[in-house]
Structure 1
Amino acid sequence: MARNTRSCLVLLVVAAIWFQSRTFTAPGRPLKARVRRAAEAETVAPPTTAEEAAEPRRVLLVVSDANPYLSEPSKAALRYASNVGNDGHVTAMLLPFDEENTNTTALQSTVQWWFGECGLTDEQFEELLPPADAAPAAAIADAAEQLGSTEVVVPAEAVAKKRLDAPLLATFLGCPLVIVPE
């Protein structure tokens, strides 16, 4: 009985070693090399010249908040946008959070106040309201294209509460989409 158990154990160990070698290596190329090459292909090269690094970054901040005094995710996105936007090139796009309440005057004044708290002046604050008949993703993509935005910043709350479809927006945009968590 012990002999059968020992031979079965040896057979299992040999099979495991053979299976492991077949699974984790490809013909001619180990798995680590393939993963490394794929990661190198996806990395974005840092700016190589001073001109590229000094190029102004225009950030489009999307605010869609039911709270007229801004929720924490919206404040975090606003802080991120003000830090990233060189020379204060930050534009806020205010999206009404529901169809019944399209009045965003309280939200406008709150966003403008928070811009001041983040160190941006009133001249650096631009505001956009989307067309009433446009879908949010299409309106944001059009605004980003018209402004020549280099980045679109969205609070994660807008995506989590289904006010904005992030995968759809990412397909329309010609620039990176940043979803800022709380």
Structure 2
Amino acid sequence: MSKITSIEASARAKAGKGAARATRRAGLVPGVVYGGKQEATLIAVDPRIIVKGLQTSGWRSRVYEVNVDGKVERALIRDVQLHPVKDSPVHVDFMRLSAGSRVHVEVSVHFVGEDKCPGIKRGGMLNVVRHTVDVEVPAEQIPEFFTVDLTKLDINDNVRWEDVAGTEGATPISHEANFVIASIAAPNVDTTEAAS
């Protein structure tokens, strides 16, 4: 299950460019919490919260409890618009999570056991094909990350979707049934050195 991060937000009364500019002048980032068959909630958030969230790995699958003037809603960050020059957030979209629904999220893949991997010890290289996987999961069971154990892999071995830990309830959004996540590639041999 994904970690839940609580953030404070204040409600905004008006929508539109003028209201969004006024929110930014006040030092806040305008945003919206939408979905869940409810009316959208206009919010204003401290930009430091958004920047900190974006700098943390796995932010696309992190669940936020957005406290808007006492009303708490669980949501995912769906989109962040950044200033073209300053790279600071200028708008944020949160998607509300409703119990019983399934959501599409991008979950990061963590690799463990690299120091004990026989293939890497013999000079092989870890070739990561997918750092993240797009999946559909129940809103209550969003994983923080998936785990790949490398301790038994030798040179030319692959790690496929079925080998990944923490995928319970997750359905990958892929055209390939059991796709490759990573492999242990053979070491490169310099042919000029080998010939001399």
TMscore range, shorter length: under 0.3
- Which structure's CA Rg is the greater one? 1
Give me the TM-score of the superposition, normalised by structure 2: 0.19
Larger proportion of helix = 1
Give me the TM-score of the superposition, normalised by structure 1: 0.20
Q: Which has the higher contact order (CA 8 A, sep 6+)?
A: 1
